[in-house]
Structure 1
């Protein structure tokens, strides 16, 4: 069995490596070609070129590299056609992967699988129908996504979210972390303003005021701010002006284990919107979501958004227990009050987080193995497919 697999980001490399491991387990003798990073290379992939060349985000960045990206898309499609694999698997990064699949389908009947369903349930639902023209099967991370893909004419398998197999800190790790930073038994709040410079710059002033209000209401409350490497200098400079200074945690210096320990040690978190909500859920840490954007983005997203919450814990658990303060509502007073409410009564959110992890596949087969079985089943059911 021959598999051509394409990933262009660190998260995709992680998904791809787990998929490859699952395929080797259930399809002995499988061979891999494609594009990936260190994890996929470690699973036996010979990458066509460096994954970083196609890991580009943002309209401006894509436009500036348009010619080079277009050439890589064509090169990748030609490599797929020359390899004649049993299946092409594109992982996330739809701007690249779906264009490759389109060119491949125009010139062959190679089966195409896209791993990570686009968020058509949240905005731009028309993307599903466009995908269906050249994608045979979708592997979804969230349990409510298959009906959206199936309605557009594609097979869709929920395979679970990788957060359910990610490592979490032990109680010993938590105790050591609290001792290391002199926190002891004091209540602890995480401040998580994101990893992109634009979002961090916008959220840090709000977080400063939230921390000041929380300190006034709960003088015993301690604060820790894990910082992404690319925004470390920005955060450290901003913290100098804060009336109450959190512990700055740089995982590149202290190690990723320190971040996991901080997540598990915290009693509550103020976090930017995104998959961090699932990381916090895995650690059992209740949260408040705060996110702001520029005026134009507020107007556009406000008109396109199809759901009443952007937090995955709320969506997967089918509750609305995680408070959100988005856009014009991202204000220090209500955010601080929501944090205080959670410190007083965390149980409802704890239950929703546990339900979320259960629905994402916790306790079942690892997502990479489930993804592999779904790909193999799709091949068996596809006329002419071989395993």
Structure 2
């Protein structure tokens, strides 16, 4: 079976690599083509172009790169036509992927399509599912409450579990080895250049205001952003160590007493390591103003949403100030009741995301194969 995959972000690349591994186990002989990053390349994909070309977020960030993105849309759609795959799997990055699918489906209306990561219609832009339905047949959802939204729009959908539940964790010995102070704090101001530029100065100020003398501050980051992160961290009023080695990053997540983190899936990584947190996030001015009008929820932190609590404090947009973040950090560091409430919410989150069950990559692969079997007229097939 020929499968064409498209991922546009590091998180999507990790999902794609796990899915490819699951497909290789459950359907040996699969051939892969498409767009991906290091993980998918290691799993056997020769990417059409660097995935980093697609790793942009927000209207203000996209505009300067619109010509390149248009070329990549046309190039990817043409590659699908040339490859004639049995299945296309688009992974997150809906703005790019749906434009590709529109062209690909125009050339081949019967093209089977699976989209991995349901759009967060429960949070904002609820009509996205209806707009996606003419181009997508089946959806793989990371969150347990998402399938009904997709099914209501006319697509089949399976909850396949979140990859965070299968991610490797550091041992206690590795955590002890990296811990050099009575107080260890993680600072996680994002993985994109724009996020780091906006959030790192505020995070640094907040840490300087909140932390006791001698606290150890660790800043895990991706290798591609390490130089930018170091350039920001050196300006902070408190010493901090930037980490890029994956083993050190895992140890830091396990060792930390608290984290100050950008909003996103990193909150689930912290939850998997039982690390209390404070969330802060801001976007480019125009993007933030649009988001404020569209977001329907009182929280965007996934731990809060999945656990149906509001245990994790978050400060978004204009509320994301150094003073607010510092006050919340002090509260979490010094109040055992706040820590206990967060840890209870984190344990419930991990349980609801599939911890203890089959690996999400295998569940996603089984869901894809069941979808293809149904499409071929093979009758009902057990799905995750």
1:155 offset after TM fit, Å? 0.8
Q: Whose radius of gyration is greater, 1 or 2? A: 1
Instruction: Give, in whole Å, the separation in 1 of the partners of 2:59 and 2:273.
Output: 34
Instruction: Give, in whole Å, the separation in 1 of the partners of 2:68 and 2:304.
Output: 40
Contact 1:292–1:326 (8 Å) recurs in 2: yes
Instruction: Give, in whole Å, the separation in 2 of the partners of 1:332 and 1:53.
Output: 32
Instruction: Give, in whole Å, the separation in 1 of the partners of 2:12 and 2:206.
Output: 34
Contact 2:20–2:365 (8 Å) recurs in 1: yes
| DSSP-derived class of the 2:290 partner | helix
Partner of 1:159 in structure 2?
A: 160
Partner of 1:278 in structure 2?
A: 268
Task: For 1:1-387, list aligned pairs within 5 A.
Answer: 1-59=1-59, 62-106=62-106, 107-178=108-179, 182-183=180-181, 186-215=182-211, 218-219=212-213, 221-226=215-220, 228-239=225-236, 242=237, 245-251=238-244, 255-293=245-283, 295-343=285-333, 344-345=335-336, 346-384=339-377
Instruction: Give, in whole Å, the separation in 1 of the partners of 2:41 and 2:322.
Output: 45
| DSSP-derived class of the 1:238 partner | coil
Cα separation, partners in 2 of 1:233 and 1:172, compared to 1, 3 Å = closer
Count of residue correspondences:
373
Cα separation, partners in 2 of 1:330 and 1:5, compared to 1, 3 Å = closer
Cα separation, partners in 2 of 1:46 and 1:194, compared to 1, 3 Å = closer
Instruction: Give, in whole Å, the separation in 2 of the partners of 1:24 and 1:203.
Output: 40
Instruction: Give, in whole Å, the separation in 1 of the partners of 2:299 and 2:35.
Output: 35
Cα separation, partners in 2 of 1:375 and 1:323, compared to 1, 3 Å = same
TM-score normalised to structure 1 length: 0.87
| Unaligned ranges ≥5, structure 2 | none
Bigger drift between 282-291 and 187-196 goes to: 187-196
Residues 258-279 of structure 1 show CA distances to partners (whole Å, capped at 9, x for unaligned) of 2221221111112221221111
Superposed CA RMSD in Å reads: 2.6
| Unaligned ranges ≥5, structure 1 | none
1:64 offset after TM fit, Å? 4.5
Cα separation, partners in 2 of 1:383 and 1:355, compared to 1, 3 Å = same
Contact 2:59–2:287 (8 Å) recurs in 1: no
1:237 offset after TM fit, Å? 3.6
TM-score normalised to structure 2 length: 0.88
| DSSP-derived class of the 2:124 partner | coil
